[in-house]
Amino acid sequence: MQSRTFGYARVSSFDQNLSRQIQALSAYGIDERDIITDKVSGKDFNRQGYLMLKNQILRSGDTLAIKELDRLGRNYEQIKEEWRELQQMGIDIVILDMPILDTREKSDLEKSLIANIVFELLAYLAEKERCKIKSRQKEGISAAKSKGVKFGRPQAELPPNFYEEYAKWRNGEQTAVQTMKRLGLKRTTFYKLIKTERR
């Protein structure tokens, strides 16, 4: 059976347009009837078009073309997993925006090398994204602190008669339970305030 080339295009919400990806796949030479699309919305990421393409249409020796690597999955781990599975099925992969990731007419060794490039690239991008998130968090915390926003649990307020009753307790004039009762404090709050005062 002659091998075929299919295209896959995906956007992550219904109001986004698939035309940019479809045009690129058509320009690559894929008939529009062989381009499978998904408009995936929500957290379940239920890609019916892609799953049909992968499980029912693609055969060993066929080629799957996509415009960008991230069309394969919603996160780096999923992209790696899909790449592995497609390779195991004997499907060649073409990434239009990254010609180096073209596995057609490559030996097993070359395909393995391309897979390693993909995985290293994804690991780098994932780490870069983590660093970006951490940096944004730091910047956000710094900006909030400069505006007087306090982080952590709110500090318990001292009752007006705290020092007076605290002194009586320290001098052995009354028990801790009596002191808590007079101050109207719970045990954990009482000892937390005492710990703060002793610093």
Active site (catalytic) residues: 12
Residue with tokens 């395909």: 111
Tokens of 105: 């007419």
The amino acid that residue 72 corresponds to is: L
Answer for the pair 24, 30: CB distance below 8 angstroms, yes or no: no
Tell me if residue 13 falls in helix, strand or coil: coil
- 69 with 97: CB under 8 angstroms? yes
Q: Which two tokens stand for residue 40?
A: 């995936």
Residue pair 49/86 in contact (Cβ under 8 Å)? The answer is: no
**Spatial distance between the Cα atoms of 33 and 36, rounded to a whole number of angstroms:** 8
